Chains A and B, each alone.
Chain A
């Protein structure tokens, strides 16, 4: 199956700082999602982005499928951005593979 690597594994930011989270995957993919898991465990959909660039408020994401990576940008971070960010590519036949995530802590 697809191997997924997320970096960095842990990140501490001062409120207001910007950051980039990276997701590398080992094989061609048809779909890719970014999720934010809040401290209560709920996985929240951020982006469905098999290719190209999307923006949603302070967050944006870019997937370059031919080079097998995706990036999540967080600008002007807030304490509510804290949690774990997962990248989840899918290469076919219902198989979605999750990375082990980037744990983000935003401190005031």
Chain B
């Protein structure tokens, strides 16, 4: 079974703090993703990575950065947390359906971690 774990289920931070959210997968997946989920907005992609040290912006990258130093681990960093970053953060991983360099990349089946509910006060 695929397992995706996230470092915390619940996190409370103060405005201006630097926040690290960690995600680890054990299936040797190339792709990893960070989403945030807010009521009425569904899941929105923040960043994704298709290989170690590779990253690409998603739909809402502002205020976030990421790090992928090892294949199994993908970190989301809030450089200076703000109250509008209070949200549910979900990490996912997948195999790609084609390899980078062959043009079109696509997403195979995604598997999600349990989520981190972050509150910024």
Contact = CB atoms under 8 A, between A and B. Distances in A.
Contacts of B42: 86, 98-101
Interface stretch (A11-19, A40-48, A53-61, A66-74): A40-48
B119 to A, nearest CB: 14
A86 B117 CA distance: 19
B111 A45 contact: yes
B111 to A, nearest CB: 7
Q: Which of A31, A35, A43, A90 has the largest number of chain B CB atoms within 10 A?
A: A43
A30 B96 CA distance: 12
Majority secondary structure, B binding face = strand
Given A41-B117, A95-B45, A30 B112 contact: no
B45 A42 contact: no
A36 to B, nearest CB: 11
B62 interface: no
Given A42-B112, A94-B31, A94-B56, A100 B40 contact: yes
A33 interface: yes
A100 to B, nearest CB: 4
B104 interface: yes
Contacts of B109: 31, 33, 45, 48
Contacts of A95: 45, 107
Contacts of B106: 30-31, 90, 92-94
A88 interface: yes
28 contacts: A30-B97, A30-B106, A31-B108, A31-B109, A41-B88, A41-B115, A42-B112, A42-B114, A43-B90, A43-B112, A45-B111, A48-B109, A86-B42, A92-B104, A92-B105, A93-B105, A94-B31, A94-B33, A94-B50, A94-B96, A94-B105, A94-B106, A95-B45, A96-B45, A98-B35, A98-B42, A99-B42, A100-B42
Interface of A: 1, 30-31, 33, 35, 40-43, 45, 48, 86, 88, 90, 92-96, 98-101
